[in-house]
Amino acid sequence: MNVEVNLDRRNALKAGGGLGLMALFGAVGLLSSKAALAEWNKTAFSAKTMDEALAAMGVSTAESNAIFIQLTVPEIAENGSIVPVSVTSTFPNVEQISIFVDKNPSVLAAQFNIPAGTESMVTTRVKMGQTANVVALIKADGKFYRTAKEVKVTAGGCGG
Amino acid sequence: MGMPMKIRAGLKDGVTEVKILMQHEMETGLRKDAEGKPIPAWFITDVLAQYKGKTVLDAQFGQSISKNPYLLFRFKGGAVGEKVNVSWVDNKGDKRSDDGVIA
């Protein structure tokens, strides 16, 4: 991914002249608000197993902790296509919250970067193809913590 | 141009709670149509929420997020009558940006 981006930049510069540079500055201007933020992690979002996803996110160890992470999911989901998931953490300095479904074809559902001033809490809805564990991963003070809960799915959300 | 989002933002005890409902198919790329042809993946990859130009939430989505994604989060501060801007980008490069007024 980075290599492609660099090549594009290089080509833009090579094209030379005012036009190439203006195009480059134009693009930078448009993306400036997003540029400082993390790029979509294709490897992690394509990962088929928890281990692959964690490796792609640079997580070597994630301590289990069900006290400082509150993961709220239904015990039974009659409709696997809309499963509400809420994650709240009472760790100080939470930088990131990620949600996984360990038996989905792509395990990583979402990753939230939490800026200072935003509460370490997020609620969303995920699809679940079958009964599986929903895993919440928290990054706080540079360390990773996780907890998981099983959701029994009676009708899958990835059919067709 | 994507379909409009519904954004509700409310201030209570110095904290703004933001609820976002996006309109998007969120196709996984794994389903097949009636003729058995694969339906290509089509899903939101990035969501950015900003208040007065400052990022209050930066989210990345994968294929496992439900159709018409829903998000709820809270940030400290905010003022009634001010706007929270939410924008998303999908894997085909489509975009949408909407404002919600804090009540």
- pLDDT given at position A123: 98
Mean pLDDT computed over B31-54:
95
Instruction: Give the nearest partner residue to A127 out of B15, B54, B66, using CB atoms.
Output: B66
Which residues does chain B have within 8 Å of residue A122's beta carbon, measured at their own beta carbons? 57, 59, 71-73
Write the ipTM. 0.95
Spatial distance between the Cα atoms of A95 and A141, rounded to a whole number of angstroms:
7
Spatial distance between the Cα atoms of A144 and B38, rounded to a whole number of angstroms:
37
Residue pairs spanning A and B at CB distance below 8 A: 120
Residue A159's pLDDT band (cuts 50, 70, 90): low
Provide the CATH number for the domain formed by A42-153 in this structure: 2.60.40.2470
Which residues does chain A have within 8 Å of residue B30's beta carbon, measured at their own beta carbons? 105, 158
Chain mean pLDDT for chain B: 96
In a domain? residue B1? no
Q: What is the pLDDT of residues A48-94, one digit of tens each?
A: 999 999 999 999 999 999 999 999 999 999 999 999 999 999 999 99
Q: Phi first, then psi: give them for residue A91, nearest 5 degrees.
A: -65, 145
Spatial distance between the Cα atoms of A114 and B56, rounded to a whole number of angstroms:
7
In a domain? residue B83? yes
Task: Mark yes or no for CB contact A122/B73 under 8 Å.
Answer: yes
CATH 2.60.40.2470 occupies which residues in chain A? 42-153
| Number of domains chain B contains | 1
Closest C-alpha to A129, from A109, A112, A149: A109
CA–CA distances in Å: residue B88 to residues A58, A148, B23? 25, 28, 11
Mean pLDDT computed over B72-77:
98
Substitution target from A118, A122, A123 for chain B, most B beta carbons within 10 A: A118
In a domain? residue B76? yes
CB of B73 less than 8 A from some CB of A: yes
Task: CATH number of the domain at B30, please.
Answer: 2.60.40.10
Q: What is the pLDDT of residues A96-132, one digit of tens each?
A: 999 999 999 999 999 999 999 999 999 999 999 999 9
Which residues does chain B have within 8 Å of residue A48's beta carbon, measured at their own beta carbons? none
Which residue range(s) make up the domain with B53?
Answer: 6-101
In a domain? residue B43? yes
DSSP structural state of residue B4: P
Spatial distance between the Cα atoms of B51 and B49, rounded to a whole number of angstroms:
7
Q: State the nearest Cα–Cα gap between A102 and chain B, in angstroms.
A: 11
Whose structure tokens read 């939490």?
Answer: A114
pTM: 0.84
Q: Which residue of B has its CA nearest to A113?
A: B58
